[in-house]
Structure 1
Amino acid sequence: MSIQSELQATISDMIVEGKGILAADESLPTIAKRFKAVNVESTEENRRAYRSLLLTTPGLGEFISGVILFEETLGQKTADGKPLPQAAAEQGIVPGIKVDKGTVALANAPGDLVTQGLDGLSDRLVAYKEQGARFAKWREVYTIAGHNPTALGIKVNAEVLARYAAICQSLGIVPIVEPEVLLDGDHTIERCFEVTEAVQHAVFHALYRHRVEPEYIVLKPSMVVPGKDAPTKASPEEIAEKTLAQLRRTVPAAVPGINFLSGGQTPEEATANLNALNAMADNAPWQLSFSYGRALQEPVLKAWQGRAENVQAAQQALYKRAKLNGAARTGSYTAEMEKN
Structure 2
Amino acid sequence: MGKEDLRKIALELVRDGKGILAIDESSDSMGKKFENFNISNTAENRRRFRNVLIEAEGIEEYISGVILHMETFDQRNDKNILFVESLSSRGIIPGIKLDQGLGKIEYDDVKIKATKKAKEVEENVPENVKSSVKNAGDKVVGFMKQHSEYAKNKIEEHERPLTEEEKVKEAKKYGEFIKRSSADNAEETYHEQVTRGLEDLEKTLASKKYEKAKFAKWRSVFKITKRTPTFEAIDKNCDILAQYAKLCQLHDLVPIVEPEVLFEGNFTIEEHYRVLKYVLSLLSNKLNYHDVDLDSVLFKIGFVTSGKNKASVDKESTTRLTSEAILSTIPIKVPGIVFLSGGHTCEDAIDYLRMICGLDAEINLTFSYGRALTSNAMKKWNGNDNNVEDARKVFLQDCQVSSKASKQRNLVRKG
Give the TM-score range, shorter chain.
Answer: over 0.9
Contact map agreement 1:3 1:170 (CA 8 A) in 2: no
Q: Give the counterpart letter for 1:12 in structure 2.
A: L
2:265 to 177, 185, 195: 185
Cα distance in 2 for partners of 1:129, 1:288 equals: 31
1:150 to 230, 242, 247: 230
Larger mean CA deviation between 166-175 and 106-115 belongs to: 106-115
Cα distance in 2 for partners of 1:128, 1:202 equals: 34
- CA deviation profile, 1:96-120 (whole Å, cap 9, x unmatched): 0001011111111423210000112
Deviation at 1:3, TM superposition (A): 3.0
Q: Does 1:31 align with 2:30?
A: yes
Contact map agreement 1:276 1:331 (CA 8 A) in 2: no
Cα distance in 1 for partners of 2:203, 2:313 equals: 44
Deviation at 1:131, TM superposition (A): 4.1
The match for 1:338 is none
The match for 1:42 is 41
Cα distance in 1 for partners of 2:289, 2:369 equals: 29
How much identity, in percent, do the aligned residues show? Answer: 37
1:210 to 290, 293, 311: 290
The match for 2:186 is none
Q: Give the counterpart letter for 2:378 in structure 1.
A: L
Cα distance in 2 for partners of 1:158, 1:5 equals: 25
- CA deviation profile, 1:196-228 (whole Å, cap 9, x unmatched): 011101110000000101110110011111100
- CA deviation profile, 1:100-150 (whole Å, cap 9, x unmatched): 011111111423210000112122112267541111110000000011000
The match for 1:76 is 75
Q: Does 1:287 align with 2:364?
A: yes
The match for 1:233 is 312
Contact map agreement 1:97 1:128 (CA 8 A) in 2: no
Q: Give the counterpart letter for 1:156 in structure 2.
A: K
The match for 2:194 is 114
Cα distance in 1 for partners of 2:208, 2:273 equals: 36
Cα distance in 1 for partners of 2:11, 2:327 equals: 23
The match for 2:373 is 296
Deviation at 1:330, TM superposition (A): 2.1
Q: Give the counterpart letter for 1:56 in structure 2.
A: E
Contact map agreement 2:224 2:272 (CA 8 A) in 1: yes
The match for 1:134 is 214
Aligned Cα RMSD in Å? 1.3
Q: TM-score, normalised by structure 1?
A: 0.94
Deviation at 1:17, TM superposition (A): 1.1
Contact map agreement 1:237 1:277 (CA 8 A) in 2: no
Contact map agreement 2:11 2:336 (CA 8 A) in 1: no
Q: TM-score, normalised by structure 2?
A: 0.77
Post-superposition, which runs of at least 4 consecutive aligned residues in structure 1 deviate over 3 A?
128-131
Contact map agreement 1:192 1:225 (CA 8 A) in 2: yes
Contact map agreement 1:189 1:227 (CA 8 A) in 2: yes
Deviation at 1:91, TM superposition (A): 2.2
Cα distance in 2 for partners of 1:272, 1:169 equals: 33
The match for 1:174 is 254
Contact map agreement 2:14 2:338 (CA 8 A) in 1: no
The match for 1:316 is 393
Cα distance in 2 for partners of 1:248, 1:12 equals: 19
Cα distance in 1 for partners of 2:291, 2:344 equals: 34
Contact map agreement 1:24 1:293 (CA 8 A) in 2: yes
Q: Which runs of 5+ in 2 are unaligned?
A: 108-188, 410-415
Bigger proportion of residues as helix:
2
Cα distance in 2 for partners of 1:126, 1:325 equals: 34
- CA deviation profile, 1:265-290 (whole Å, cap 9, x unmatched): 111111011001111x21x2211111
The match for 1:329 is 406
- The aligned runs of 1:231-270 (5 Å cut-off) are 232-270=311-349
Q: Give the counterpart letter for 2:380 in structure 1.
A: A
Q: Which runs of 5+ in 1 are unaligned?
A: 333-340
Q: Give the counterpart letter for 1:73 in structure 2.
A: T
